[in-house]
Amino acid sequence: MSEQESQIALIFFGGAFLAILMSTFIVSMVVLHRQRQVQNRQKLDHLKTEYEKTILNIENEIQQETLTHIGRELHDNIGQLLSLAKLNLNSTKPEKQAEGKTYINQIIKEVRSLSKTLNLDWVESVTLEDFIQQQLDKIQGTGFCQTSLDSDFSFQELKKDQKLVLIRVIQECLNNAIKHAQPDHLTIQMAKNGAFREINIIDDGLGFDTNQKSEGSGMFNLTKRMETIGGTFKLTSTVGKGTRITLLLPL
């Protein structure tokens, strides 16, 4: 074989080797891309499942609380009103019978009010600011501590699922403050902050060391719930100087 033929053969085999190498590389990239597509699809499916599970759990929790509230109202409030109405209506005195009818009208209003809470339609009918103000008023009404709400009303337009998650997370944060913080003042701030809507829940209570591991899973659950709606949960606290919780939700 001549030198020229050897060079041609070398070029031919070299080209063939490069072609095989390129083909192998391309095939590998295609396979890798498809694997990543499958993984991403599985990840999205998992996130969707977790999201739906979280929303369902929150709805169940709120419904259970609602039923507990209704049971308490039926026993403590409406039950007492019915007893008073019965006593007055059984009286022969016209003024007592009139008072009994007044009680009946009050009972009707109370029952109508309770019926509205049997489903979650109230979530759509109330703004997040109104809900928070109601919660803070209840806390202050017990004499537990002073409360305040400062809002720029940037949370007026929320999807029902977002509102459900925020309602539950805020409820849990307020419950934790009541159970553990012993504050003199509890403040909630709501405002737009750049590309986010931000809620700060601030108390001047006992505070705690965030470096110490908690035995419960409360903070982890709150973090995961915020993640299901694309938000974040952040907590900072100092012993003796209170606690600050920040909830961020992208606009």
The token pair at 232 is 């974040």
Name the least confident of 79-93, 137-151, 176-190, 191-205: 79-93
Q: Where are the domains of the chain?
A: 3-116, 121-250
- CA dist 147 → 124, 153, 209, 225, 246 (Å): 25, 18, 24, 25, 17
Residue 74 scores a pLDDT above 90: no
CB atoms within 10 A of CB 242: 22
The fraction of the chain above a pLDDT of 70, given in percent, is 89
- Report the CATH fold assignment for 121-250: Heat Shock Protein 90 (3.30.565)
**Coil, strand, or helix at residue 222?**
helix
> Rg of the chain over CA atoms, in angstroms?
31
More confident residue, 127 or 51: 127
Mean pLDDT across 28-37: 82
d(CA 172, CA 168): 6
